[in-house]
Each structure stands twice: as structure tokens, then as C-alpha cells.
Amino acid sequence: MSSSTLEQAVDKVIKSTEIIIQNAILLQQEVNQLCAANQCLKRKQEASRYFIATDGSLTGAEEQQKAQEYEEQLQESSRPQT
């Protein structure tokens, strides 16, 4: 095997490795985003159960107020901590 053929093979391995690493980084970012979205949905489901369990029947206005308060809490909790 000539040295130029060997160099080409090594270059291909290096390039393939770089692509694999880039894909792994992108996949990890996607996993992080999905986990964050999943946590948000879990909090929303738990809060809905909490409202039903503690408050019983609500009027339309009460439900709107609760929903607005909940959305404000979600927005506050999703902000990055500084």
C-alpha cells in the first residue's frame, strides 16, 4: 500500500469521525430540547390534576384566572436562572 493511499484512507477516517462527532452533538442537543419539553408537559399535567383535586368545580372566569396564573408560573420557571 503506497503512502498516498494510506494518507487518503486516514483522511477519510478523520473526516468520518468528525461527521460522527457533529451528529452526536446535534443528537444531544435534540435530546436536551425534548427533555425540556417533556418536563414542561409533565408540570402542566400535574398542575391540571392539582387544580381539579383541590378546587373541584370552577366557573369559567375562575378557570381563566387559574390558567393565566399557571401560564405566568410556567414562563417564570422556564426563564434561565441568572
Q: Name residue 65's amino acid.
A: Q
Q: How confident is the model over 47-73, as pLDDT tens digits?
A: 766 555 555 666 777 778 878 887 887
pLDDT recorded at residue 8: 95
Report how far residue 73's alpha carbon sits from residue 22's, in angstroms, rounded to the nearest whole number: 36
pLDDT in tens, 16-28: 999 999 999 999 9
Residue type, 51: F
Three-class secondary structure of residue 80 per DSSP:
coil
Mean pLDDT of the chain: 82
Contact in structure between 44 and 74 (CB atoms under 8 Å) = yes
In angstroms, the first-to-last Cα distance of the chain is 58
Residue pointed to by grid coordinates 401560564: 71
